[in-house]
Amino acid sequence: MIVRVLEDGQYEIADSDVPELERLDAVLESALEANDEPAFHRALHALLEKVRAVGSPVPHDEIVPSDLALPDEHMDLSEVRALLASEEG
Amino acid sequence: MAFMKRLSGVVQAKANKVLDRVEDPRETLDLSYEKQLEQLQQVRKGVADVATAKKRIELQAQQLQAAASKLQDQARTAVAQNNEDLARQALSRRSAIATQLDGLRTQHEQLAAQQDRLVDTSKQLEARVEAFRTQKETLKASYTAAEAQTKIGEAVSGISESMSDTGLAMQRAQDKIANMQARASAVDELLDSGALTDVTGSSDPIQAELDKASQSSQVDLELAQLKAETGKGAPSALGAGGDEEVADAETVPQNAAPADPFSLDSGDGSAEPAK
């Protein structure tokens, strides 16, 4: 499974690590729903840390689409909301 | 993966907008490559724009520093002349400048971070574009095989996604620049109007901010320091202080500037060496 971290790059994630990412993703999703900025940042940080720890960076000469995407830690909640809203109507 | 899937959908949708696919996949490859080269140029321009914006902030910080030094000297002169109200007003304005500098510092940091990320992103895109260039010829040559068609689809999707990500990075950089420009224009107006430096002026747009600042204990503290410094000397010696102010204003910013262009010395630091 390939995860893109925006403004960072792509990471290949082994199937065995997917359940943990799913758990962290759920925490992030609920922080987003609750519009809870500190919780959002904690959850995003945890998820990014995990992706970068267990994932192996996709080499730059390998051109593949991603299955999942994540903002980097510099995006705040309102920016992420705006980004999601920009295509989801 | 509710969140990551949603965001991925957004990125893909933007990627699809980047490139209109045409019927012959071989043409899609060429069109895609042209777009990639265009975008690389835009990114390079984007990086230059951020650098220009940063430079403008640095210049403004210097101007504000110079204004602050002048106010410090005016306050010193006013204290020597026993004009406490005028001294208080000058110090208030100086403290308003510190607030402006704080804002500039934050924006400068944001722009620097955005510039770093934009440079990284563009380097990645550059590497991928180069890889794409060599792969597309191979793919075109073996295009008739069904497997090659799948690979073409993947390569085009993959590179479009990178372009979409780069597009987002550029958009964020532009947003930051726009914020910076709004503030920079406001600071320019303040500097041009003379409101910051001319303590004898009656009406000015930062009066509200100044009123607040004049209540602050920082101003009281600085005023007390100036009095302690100057009060011991001859109170009437600075009656024709006009020339002296200019001379002092030139020496002080040189002391303050190298340390941190976005913060003012607390008052005693710049005052003592001149004594």
B109-135 per-position pLDDT tens digit: 989 988 998 898 888 889 889 999 988
**Partner-chain contact B2 A60, CB within 8 Å:** no
- pLDDT at residue B22 in the model: 67
Confidence of residue A48 (pLDDT cuts 50, 70, 90): very high
Give the full edge-to-edge strand order of the sheet including A9-12: A56-57, A9-12, A2-5, A68-70
Q: Best interface-test mutation with A: which of B3, B6, B152 has the largest number of A CBs within 10 A?
A: B3
- The C-alpha of B145 sits at a distance from chain A's nearest C-alpha, in angstroms, of 19
**Partner-chain contact B12 A65, CB within 8 Å:** yes
User: How far is B13 from B52, CA to CA, in rounded Å?
Assistant: 32
Q: Best interface-test mutation with A: which of B4, B18, B115, B137 has the largest number of A CBs within 10 A?
A: B4
This complex has an ipTM of 0.92
**Token pair in block for residue B245:** 């102010």
Within 8 A of A66 by CB-CB distance, chain B residues are: 8, 11, 161
pLDDT in tens, B38-88: 989 999 999 999 999 999 999 999 999 998 988 888 888 888 888 888 888
Confidence of residue A14 (pLDDT cuts 50, 70, 90): very high
Is the pLDDT score of A55 beyond 70?
yes
Q: Please indicate if any CB of chain B lies within 8 Å of the CB of A15.
A: no
- pLDDT at residue B217 in the model: 65
Q: Please indicate if any CB of chain A lies within 8 Å of the CB of B137.
A: no
Give me the residues of chain B with pLDDT under 50, please: 201-210, 233-257, 267-275
**Partner-chain contact B121 A74, CB within 8 Å:** no
3-state secondary structure of A3: strand
- The C-alpha of A8 sits at a distance from chain B's nearest C-alpha, in angstroms, of 7
- pLDDT at residue B4 in the model: 93
**Partner-chain contact B161 A86, CB within 8 Å:** no
Do B226 and B117 contact (CB within 8 A), yes or no?
no
Contacts of B66 (CB under 8 A, 6+ apart): B249, B253
Handedness of CA B26, B29, B33, B39 (dihedral sign): positive
Within 8 A of A80 by CB-CB distance, chain B residues are: 7
Average pLDDT over residues A70-82: 90
What DSSP element (H or E) covers B220?
Answer: helix B217-231
Is the pLDDT score of A2 beyond 80?
yes
Within 8 A of B158 by CB-CB distance, chain A residues are: 63-65
Is the pLDDT score of A67 beyond 70?
yes
- Look at residues B185, B246, B188 and name the one whose alpha carbon lies nearest to residue B63: B188
Average pLDDT over residues A23-28: 96
Given 3-state DSSP classes, what are the helix, strand and coil percentages for chain B, each rounded to the nearest 5?
A: 80, 0, 20
Half-sphere exposure of B144 (CA within 13 A, CB side): 1
- pLDDT at residue B243 in the model: 45
Q: Which residue of B has its CA nearest to A75?
A: B172
- pLDDT at residue B21 in the model: 65
Q: Please indicate if any CB of chain B lies within 8 Å of the CB of A24.
A: no
Q: How far is CA B109 from the centre of its chain?
A: 7
Confidence of residue A68 (pLDDT cuts 50, 70, 90): very high
Confidence of residue A16 (pLDDT cuts 50, 70, 90): very high
For the residues of B82-129, what is the DSSP string, one character each? T-HHHHHHHHHHHHHHHHHHHHHHHHHHHHHHHHHHHHHHHHHHHHHH
Of B12, B113, B131, the CB nearest to A74: B113
- Look at residues B90, B60, B64 and name the one whose alpha carbon lies nearest to residue B264: B64
- pLDDT at residue B52 in the model: 92
Q: What global pTM score does this model have?
A: 0.69
- The C-alpha of A37 sits at a distance from chain B's nearest C-alpha, in angstroms, of 15
Strands (E) located in A1-85? 2-5, 9-12, 56-57, 68-70
Of B4, B117, B155, the CB nearest to A25: B4
Inter-chain contacts counted by CB atoms under 8 A, chains A and B: 94
Q: Please indicate if any CB of chain A lies within 8 Å of the CB of B109.
A: no
